[in-house]
Amino acid sequence: MIRHVVLFRFEDSFTPSIEHDWRAGLDGLVGHVPGLRSLSVGRDLSGQARSWDCTIVADFDTAADVAGYAGHPLHTPLIALSSPHTRQIASVDFDVPEPATTHAEQRKGRVHGKIAIVTGGSGDLGSACVRLLAREGAVVVSLDVTPPAEPWHEPGITSLELDITDPEQVERAVARVLETVGVPDILVNAAGIIGRAAPSHESTLAEFDRIFNVNVKGTWLMTKYVVPAMIAASRGSIVNFSSIHGITGGRSVPLYHATKGAVRLLTKSDAATYGEHGIRVNSIHPGSMNTRMSRTAADMSAVGPEAYYRQLVEGNPLRRQGEPDEIAYGVLYLASDESRFSTGSELVIDGGYTAV
């Protein structure tokens, strides 16, 4: 923020009626002059009847806004009104640190005023992200191949049906968001499938294509069509859903693990590429979560659901599965300005599973 301070000496010809009109005109500048945040006028009575010094303090967004202020159509008549009766003594501009966040501003939400796109918004993890981002002040567009199971209760959420493996659908959906909502500040690539539990030699080509199309191609397509708008705006936060098995691998569903490894490295590459444009790209790595996808994996497990869950709990220091909201809060952190120095990072939320 730039603070513009001017000290004037007003002579006794500056009558009360002129002063009234002048001050009324100054009061009307805020909200109409670009970049002008606030303006205040103070007087220092010098002991003489009408001769006094006056300090005007105006806060602007940028130095360019200060330069444009003098010639603004609303300001020039005020200069003409006051200049016959004034003499400028001093003028100075200086940077002022942004004021600390107030309690009222904190209540607005951690992503207040931001626009977010969430893929896989009808799934357990995706819907938790949609709801939390909306509760924290974002306007959210939820994308999924299936509509949400129930209406959204939070304000500011729009749902669009989308197959993220179809380039034309993705391009049209992103164009619609840009036209009707605005440039996304946040992209959460949460859409994903787990596929059938089978070793590589027993997996089919169709299974390979399907899981890579959804988990990898879908993430890439969304990034491909959203990033140009983010580059133009010089801002953005992308959160890609990987998995702990995108880091460690595993035996049960190798194709799924391979896709999550691909997402992890795509995240790092994009972070390195787009950082210069003010775009951050991070990955989130859930452990075993209490979701429909996890229950599907348990049902497909060779050892059966009960043994599957027992193995998960025994190998987890916290002795339980995670809940969708616990992932959503990690996404919220990466999406918000709180993580503005984080890019190319991996946020693991697994109850300590990978620590042992």
Catalytic residues: 256
Quote the CA–CA distance of 191 and 266 in Å, as a whole number.
Answer: 15
Other Cβ atoms within 10 Å of 37 Cβ, number: 15
CA torsion 300-245-223-166 (nearest 10°) is -20
Sheet-wide strand order for 2-10: 36-45, 52-60, 2-10, 86-95
Give dist(CA 167, CA 217) in Å, integer: 9
DSSP letters, 204-257, are -HHHHHHHHIIIIIHHHHHHHHHHHHHHHHT-EEEEEE--GGGTS--SS-HHHH
d(C-alpha 15, C-alpha 4), whole Å: 26
Task: Write the CA distances from 356 to 81, 318, 351, integer angstroms.
Answer: 76, 11, 11
For residues 345 and 335, what is the distance between their CA atoms, to the nearest angstrom? 13
Strand partners, 116: 140, 186
**What is the three-class DSSP state of 18?**
helix
Ramachandran angles phi, psi of 265, nearest 5°: -80, -30
Closest CA to 141 of 179, 115, 103: 115
Q: Contact, 323 vs 356, CB < 8 A?
A: no
